[in-house]
Each structure stands twice: as structure tokens, then as C-alpha cells.
Amino acid sequence: MTLSAVTLVNSDALYAQFKQSLSIQDPRSSIEYIPVRADSMGWNAATALNNGIGQAHGDWVMLAHQDVIFPVSWYERVTDILHALSRETAIVGLVGIRPNGGFAGHVRDPHGHLRWLPLPAKVMSIDEHVIFLRRSSAIRFDPENPGFHCYGTDICYAAEEGGLESIVIDAPVVHLSGGRTDDSYDTAAAWLLGKWGRHARNVIPTCARMIYSAGLGNLPYLLRIRHNWQACQRPGVAACNCLSTELAE
């Protein structure tokens, strides 16, 4: 199994830290690194990531934020997991949202060291800090998605539409950013609801926000999904220290 790493880069310092934490685990230099300068090209996230995927040769393409640090032995752990997956699995993440609205995954970020079990788990949305895409699946990001948000959810729905599955695995990284939402997130969320709303019963929970259009017909479903989503919100999740000594500082 071979891996390509596509990263949108606007900070050489962060990318150097990202690359060092991973390359030290790869003495054979088998990982293909593909930095993409989306800002200088005027690209949105989907266009930039598709450009990187188009350059990739790996069986799996990892699309990761530049502010991610990989813990000791992570590369061996994740390649073993990816190699063993069913061919029906096209998209893999580290944190996501289950079909019932609850969180799944494992990460350390500014909110803490957080783990939602059981894992692995099938999901309907994936957080964008790390996404793995099976290159042979032909699933790609939608360039119509404006800006730099919601593409992890969109690609999960695209995989489902193509008869493939998206899952989250237990392979945590250190993510230096806790994420944020702004007006550009609202724009992407409106686009996502317009594209997938009917398919998703007008309720799309993401790791950042519940996206929905409420009506009497879907109100019980919305309330159930929102209850499960809120029950897993980060302030209410107990920290897990089981891997803290492995995680890079």
C-alpha cells in the first residue's frame, strides 16, 4: 500500500513541522508529498485538493491540514489499518459524525484529548483536518463548493451516492487548531444544504455545526439528531489519556 500526502500550504513553517513529524517515521521515503498553494492560485479547497489528487500516485491520498503533527508510530499504525479495509471503503477520517448524529473519532487539539467510541465507525461527515481518499474510487471533491469549509461532509455524501462507505478509525494526530466558523462557513453550509438537503432529510450534522432546514415533516428527526450531536459536544466529553505519551508535543 502506498500513500500520497496532499496539503494546502500557506505557512512554510507549519508545513515543515508537519512533514518532519511524518517523514521521520518513513525511513524509506515512500510517502509522496504534494503541497498545493491554493491562495496563490486563487483556488477554493475543492479545486486545490482535486489538483493535488490529480498529481498523486499513491493507493491512498491523505488530505491533511498543514497544522497537523503525527505521533510516534502513527504511520505504521494507519497504513496497517488502510491496507486491511474493504474495497467498499472509499473515505476514511479520524473524527466524524455517525448517522445518528453522534461523534466518532480520536484527536488531540486545543479543546483537549478527546475520544468517541466505538471505533472504527461508519460516518456521514468527516472533519477535514485529516481525510484519506482511496484514489481508485474516482470520488473527488465538488469544485462548486465555495471556500474552504464543508468539503469533508460533501465527499461522504458523494461516496454514499456512489455505493461506497465512509468511516472513522482510531489513529489520532495532534491538530494545532481547534477550528472556527465565520461568514464563509455559512456560505458553504447553505451550498451543502442546497445540494444534499433532500437526500439528508434537510438535517446535516457536521463536526462544526448542525446544518438544517426545519419543518414539521422532519422535526422529530431533527430533534433526535440534534440531541445526539449536542450530547457529544466537546465540553461534555471526558478526556482520554490512553495515548497521551505517544502524541507529539
Structure confidence by residue, pLDDT tens digits, 119-131? 999 999 999 999 9
Pure H helices in the chain: 12-23, 38-41, 45-55, 74-84, 151-161, 183-196, 219-231
Spatial distance between the Cα atoms of 195 and 124, rounded to a whole number of angstroms: 15
pLDDT at 244 over 50: no
pLDDT, residue 148, reads 95
For 167-189, b where at least 16 C-beta lie within 10 A, e where not — what string?
A: bbbbbbbbbbeebeeeeebeebb
Domains of the chain: 3-236 (3.90.550.10)
DSSP lists the bridge partners of residue 134 as 60
Instruction: Specify the residue for cell string 484514489.
Output: 135
Contact 106, 178 (CB under 8 A): no
DSSP lists the bridge partners of residue 8 as 36
Q: What percentage of residues in the chain have a pLDDT greater than 90? A: 84
Spatial distance between the Cα atoms of 64 and 128, rounded to a whole number of angstroms: 7
pLDDT, residue 78, reads 97
| Mean pLDDT, the chain, integer | 92
Cα separation of the two ends of the chain = 28
Spatial distance between the Cα atoms of 182 and 235, rounded to a whole number of angstroms: 20
